[in-house]
Structure 1
Amino acid sequence: MATSTELPTSRGPRQALPDPGERVPRISWPIVGIFSGAIALFAASTWAALADVLPVPVTIGLSATAIFVLFTVLHDASHYSISTHGWVNAAFGRIAMFFVSPLISFRSFAFIHIEHHRNTNDGDNDPDHFISGSPLWQAPLRFGLMDFPYLSFIVRNVRRRPRVEVVETSLLLVTSTAVILACALTGHFWTLALVYLIPERVAMFVLAWWFDWLPHHDLKDTQQENRYRATRNRVGAEWVLTPLLLSQNYHLVHHLHPSVPFYRYVAAWQRNEEEYLERGAAIGTAFGQQLTPDEYRDWKRLNGRMRRLLPLRKAARSLSALGFHTIPVSSVDKLTNESVLINFAVPEELKDQFLFEPGQHLTVRTKIGTKEVRRSYSICSSADSGTLAIAVKHIPDGIFSTFAMEHLRPGDTLDLMTPTGSFGAPLNPLAVKRYAAIAVGSGITPVLSILRTTLVVEPESSFTLIYGNRDAESTMFRRELDDLEARYADRLRIVHVHSRDPRHPPLLSGRIDRTKLDHWLDSELAPSLVDEWFLCGPVDLVADLRELLIERGANTDHVHVEIFQGYRTLRSTDGFDAATVVVGLSGRQHEVKLAAGDTVLESALKSGIEAPYACLGGACGTCKAKVTLGSVVMDQNFVLSKADVKDGYVLTCQSRPTTPSVTVDYQG
């Protein structure tokens, strides 16, 4: 874990970068895949050219495509993004360099490219400024000559470079020239041109256009002046631009985080989008319109209706942005004799704050009598519907659920925290996946949001829901589920399990348990056939079913768990000492004293710090924070992923210090 406790104090261009949440892999399998595919494609097109079995333009296009793809291999290798092992990057880089431009060595290219990153848009020192700084009328003429200025750059810096690198580049330059002359003298120049020279120049033209001109042209700030405006992201039509440009439409992310592999640029952007916008990130549309951050936010709203065609965007907000807003209730509708549906009228100016991903939840706060009450409820509306709703099931002696059932009316207001949680899975309209969910009682609420959104966004995916209740009368959203099953009859199957209905089929009677799940896993829900699992219900049941799924071969990363509530552990001082805790919240740091046995959240609340929380049982994730100094131990964790824990995140309501001093940051 990091040991620094310093918090950013400004929003300037040199402010510490947000954590992209991405790391260099031990081996980048996407790179291995495109590398192998490109080599195979180049070999096939070379054979086609030599055997004269395809038209000349086709063979040139295929070879140029292979070289274009190999540049991404070379590019990631130069940033050591392919592997944590340096020799792996060098091996891939050297091979790719032969195809992209055999005039210089891989080491020389890496040096030149890093200089581009250091001096972006600096006309005197940026080796790529030959392209990005070109007058418009000259740009097409320069595109095909992109790599030739690199040679003069090497000459100017030859004394700075290791001798072995200079010798390697000199040998490559001499060898390349000799091969071209030999082919010309022996009458094979056209063959060489068809197999390599022409495709290589075509690829270079496209690379200059897409990887240099589009991201950098007409931007005046250098990397040293403002790294958030030295290059841009290009938004819109991402379903085609992202694969076509191999993610370089998110070129700003690459310049901010050069070691992030190319296929994770989008994920890094989505993780911290709002923080990048707050820093003035340069953004353009697919058609060249330049957008300010506020214009980009407006552009997103105006394009909200396109969600059926584009992947849902993560509602990016930092943990420090979590806060309560007073929101009017627009309707309170009876679902069953024991539950109500509450719809909220979110004011227009707060719509962005309450964007949510399917599977997220709201923390509700209100005063009932003289007591402040907080509860966490999953959002049940679809993420593309423009509505915000929760369902509340009555619990005997439950303070808030009784209030909601008996007293809450349209026009009343409740304090809502902006949405949190990560129960859902990323969606993409091009995906063809199979989903399965098991829900019990009010566990249907987050699953319903996921189910509704998935069926809309991914028109080729299918969904199976196993839903347990006492009987039909106690089934929340029964009519809506029937309507959904009728509308998506070819892609949605709902299996109702009733524990107290004597008329129900024997195989579907009783409670959902391991025996029933075993039966389904042996037939239509074999783990090898299901891409994502969602489990929501009582903690004992969910834990048992998750264990069985993993035993039967389901991938732990694709078994998503949400529980009604966590276990409330008893306070104990055994094995714990008093500690000093520094709490980072909303850009400020607060030092508090923690009594032996208290959790980090308890110590913060006792000191009057408005730290975010809801369930206090490790079930909702609202109190998530990052440990930046010292260490803690969590009593339980039903929310955080392995990646979250590895990155230092904890549930503060479950965290007790194991060192004398601990620093946690709710901004993360």
Structure 2
Amino acid sequence: MSTTTRHPQPAAAASPHALPDPGEQVPTLSWPIVGICTAALAVFGVSTWAALTGAVPAIFTIAASSAAIFVLFTVLHDASHYSISSHRWVNVAFGRVAMFFVSPLISFKSFAFIHIEHHRNTNDDDSDPDHWVSSAPWWQLPIRFPAMDLPYIGFLVKNVRRRPRAEVLETVALMGFSLTVIVTAAVTGNLWTLAVIWLLPERVAMFVLAWWFDWLPHHDLEDTQSENRYRATRNRVGSEWILTPLLLSQNYHLVHHLHPSIPFYRYVAAWRRNEEAYLERDSAISTVFGQQLDATQYREWKRLNGKLAALLPVRMPRSSAAHHAGTHPIPVKSVEPLTPGSVKVTFDVPDHLRDQFQFQAGQHLTVRHRIGGREVRRNYSICTSATSGELSIGVRHIAGGVFSTFAVELLCAGDVLELMTPTGSFGGPLEPLARRDYVAVAAGSGITPILSIMHTTMEIETESRFTLFYGNRTAESTMFAAELDELESRYADRLRIFHIRSDEPHHPAALRGRIGLAMVQRLLGGDLDSIDRWYLCGPSDLVTTMREDLASEAVPTERIHLELFRGTTRSTNIDAFRKAEVTITLSGAERTVELAAGDTVLESALKNNIDAPYACLGGACGTCKARVTTGEVSMEQNLALTAAEVDAGYVLTCQSHPTTPTVAVDYDS
């Protein structure tokens, strides 16, 4: 296991500066969305009442309802990127309501899937469902604009086997409902009324949406999202006093494609905050009249409107301030079910301990608790982004597992657990300027550290790409399924997730079975040597086999990072080891103890009531890491330390046997 990486080679078109943090976060609840959604529904309701009572001419209802549906598309659009609320169900609720008015021929989940494919494959011919409009000849536009939902339906049919059955059934039900309403209205002589209330407004709104959301941002741009994400869509500047509110900020569509999770009303702020960084990357910009501007021309155009905003630095996560793994009582903030047999446990870290519990992506926590009168100690990977300020772990129930049973069945918010400060070095260093390709292979609860690494990488390395192969038996047993969907929506053009299922007969054949190198190569569709860093986490047979297979394909071992939750069985040959005198430095105190033949350094510490940090006892977690300052030791196995750490004198004390009469180790180093 190693965290050594290659230095990325700068691409010709890359900026010398990393793309700064846009300075925007997903709100707990987007009140502007609540406002425009409420207003749009009210306008639609009033215009419908006016049509039914004959209070105003039909053209008034058609115009008002078209405007309402146009506005509701922005609600649907933000919901599909989970930017309305940090609570996933809120986005789904708003999305389903808006979808019913915009086009009740497909479900909200189906629309979200199709729209994310547009982000991932912008301008890429048949792979981009919106390309049907943005690439159309000018004379076909009046026909294609109002029929924009037809290629969406075709795209969904083509990919129907990739979608969950519940989503497909919801789409079929909506189509059936819509057809029933239209037929019923025709049979009862109310078809014109239905046309005024909804059919015509919906087509008018579709025409405007196709024009403003698809054609204006994308037409005549040849780069795809994967080729150059700064020139696959454009900003349209000028007349912003009217254009920005009229287009609901979609004149800054480039910002949306670069940062899909930003709410619509913050696009302009994000652009102005980091304007120079976007310009240095030769972003596509045109005026309201269609004149293309390069960076120099834009700066001159902008000069009369004030100075450019200053750039913000990228937020980099800090490591724990603890000198060694210390233990603290930490309250549980929430226990959230993930699957029928797993939970996400989030901790409420007190303010005075926050520096101690800062972490790097891929690190883990040791949890101590008394259950049934005895102390139980378990190690769990942190599953949250290192920049989020939230500390959470994922726990999957293991048959006969004392703590996992307690966590899944009995643990509640307000309970207090003993937590050691974060340890481990599974994740590699991140660099805001890097342009890397990452691949992760995980199975079951092996997703927990991968989720943290993947989320943090997407936030910090804004030019890097990530592919995850995640194996489970079924969709129902997939931990963090909703969070993975949300991440894929936010980082559509840079993140691919392949869900591999071993016990789901209706899953696409290419994604069924168990993960192996042949499957990974086929789905990657590229050279293994082009991958800068591999992350492997899950059952030992999967991890070790993948590592061996990658090595057999000449993938350098320094690019392969692995995490095992348990080490292998230790040697029981006591005659192979010797007695020794061990000096242990911990928390500034120094003690010298006798070590019996066959004991490890950690065992000698624990036998002498020295509260040295440890968790797995198998050489897999790294919690017991210390530096040898005097003498020498031999480690039985090492599945946690990097080559650089070993060269610097660090050892896993749970695996270390002295090979000299005296040894000194320092846990505080």
Tell me the TM-score range normalised by the shorter chain: 0.5 to 0.7
**TM-aligned CA deviation for residue 602 of structure 1:** 0.7
**Is 2:366–2:378's contact at 8 Å kept on the other side of the alignment?**
yes
Counterparts of 1:500 and 1:429 in 2: how far apart (Å)?
40
Which residues of 2 match residues 632-643 of structure 1 at below 5 A? 632-643=633-644
Sort the Cα spacing of 1:346 and 1:599 in 2 relative to 1 into closer, same or farther, 3 A: same
Counterparts of 1:307 and 1:546 in 2: how far apart (Å)?
41
Give the residue type in structure 2 aligned to 1:563.
L
Sort the Cα spacing of 1:364 and 1:308 in 2 relative to 1 into closer, same or farther, 3 A: farther
**Is 1:468–1:497's contact at 8 Å kept on the other side of the alignment?**
yes
Counterparts of 2:576 and 2:497 in 1: how far apart (Å)?
48
> What is the CA deviation profile of residues 562-620 of structure 1, one whole-angstrom value per residue up to 9, with x for unaligned ones?
11211232533031122211111112211111111111111110110000001111111
Higher mean displacement: 611-620 or 484-493: 484-493
Higher mean displacement: 409-418 or 420-429: 420-429
Instruction: Tell me the equivalent position of 1:479.
Output: 482
Unaligned regions of 5+ residues in structure 2, if any?
1-6, 9-275, 277-309
**Is 2:315–2:387's contact at 8 Å kept on the other side of the alignment?**
no
> What is the CA deviation profile of residues 396-445 of structure 1, one whole-angstrom value per residue up to 9, with x for unaligned ones?
00010011011111000001111111111222222221111001100100
Structure with more relative contact order (C-alpha pairs < 8 Å, separation 6 or more): 2
Instruction: Tell me the equivalent position of 1:417.
Output: 420
Structure 1 SS opposite 2:529? helix
**TM-aligned CA deviation for residue 329 of structure 1:** 0.3
Counterparts of 1:421 and 1:480 in 2: how far apart (Å)?
23
Sort the Cα spacing of 1:541 and 1:574 in 2 relative to 1 into closer, same or farther, 3 A: farther
Which residues of 2 match residues 4-403 of structure 1 at below 5 A? 309-310=313-314, 312-315=316-319, 317=321, 319-320=323-324, 322-403=325-406
Structure 2 SS opposite 1:621? coil
Structure 1 SS opposite 2:574? coil
Instruction: Tell me the equivalent position of 1:431.
Output: 434
Instruction: Tell me the equivalent position of 2:654.
Output: 653
**Is 1:309–1:457's contact at 8 Å kept on the other side of the alignment?**
no
**TM-aligned CA deviation for residue 551 of structure 1:** 2.7
> What is the CA deviation profile of residues 104-132 of structure 1, one whole-angstrom value per residue up to 9, with x for unaligned ones?
xxxxxxxxxxxxxxxxxxxxxxxxxxxxx
Give the residue type in structure 2 aligned to 1:310.
V
Instruction: Tell me the equivalent position of 2:564.
Output: 563
Counterparts of 1:489 and 1:316 in 2: how far apart (Å)?
31
Structure 2 SS opposite 1:444? helix
**Is 1:312–1:428's contact at 8 Å kept on the other side of the alignment?**
no
Instruction: Tell me the equivalent position of 2:55.
Output: none
Structure 2 SS opposite 1:574? helix
The CA RMSD measured in Å over matched residues stands at: 2.3
Sort the Cα spacing of 1:518 and 1:431 in 2 relative to 1 into closer, same or farther, 3 A: closer
**TM-aligned CA deviation for residue 308 of structure 1:** 8.2
Counterparts of 2:539 and 2:657 in 1: how far apart (Å)?
25
2:409 counterpart (406, 410, 414): 406
Matched, 1:459 2:498: no
Counterparts of 2:526 and 2:485 in 1: how far apart (Å)?
21
Instruction: Tell me the equivalent position of 1:543.
Output: 544
Counterparts of 2:312 and 2:600 in 1: how far apart (Å)?
44
Matched, 1:502 2:499: no
Counterparts of 1:642 and 1:311 in 2: how far apart (Å)?
28
Instruction: Tell me the equivalent position of 1:249.
Output: none
Structure 1 SS opposite 2:406? helix
Matched, 1:579 2:580: yes
Structure 1 SS opposite 2:641? coil
**TM-aligned CA deviation for residue 503 of structure 1:** 1.6
Instruction: Tell me the equivalent position of 1:177.
Output: none
**Is 1:392–1:404's contact at 8 Å kept on the other side of the alignment?**
yes
**Is 2:465–2:494's contact at 8 Å kept on the other side of the alignment?**
yes
Counterparts of 1:340 and 1:449 in 2: how far apart (Å)?
16
Counterparts of 2:616 and 2:494 in 1: how far apart (Å)?
35
Give the residue type in structure 1 aligned to 2:615.
A
Counterparts of 1:312 and 1:481 in 2: how far apart (Å)?
22
Counterparts of 1:658 and 1:399 in 2: how far apart (Å)?
37
Q: Alignment length, in residue pairs? A: 364
**TM-aligned CA deviation for residue 452 of structure 1:** 0.9
Structure 2 SS opposite 1:429? coil
Sort the Cα spacing of 1:610 and 1:413 in 2 relative to 1 into closer, same or farther, 3 A: same
Matched, 1:490 2:513: no
Structure 1 SS opposite 2:478? coil
Give the residue type in structure 1 aligned to 2:647.
K
**Is 2:580–2:663's contact at 8 Å kept on the other side of the alignment?**
yes
Counterparts of 1:555 and 1:310 in 2: how far apart (Å)?
30
Instruction: Tell me the equivalent position of 2:620.
Output: 619
**Is 1:311–1:427's contact at 8 Å kept on the other side of the alignment?**
no
Give the residue type in structure 2 aligned to 1:328.
P
TM-score, L = length of structure 2: 0.52
> What is the CA deviation profile of residues 1-46 of structure 1, one whole-angstrom value per residue up to 9, with x for unaligned ones?
xxxxxxxxxxxxxxxxxxxxxxxxxxxx99xxxxxxxxxxxxxxxx
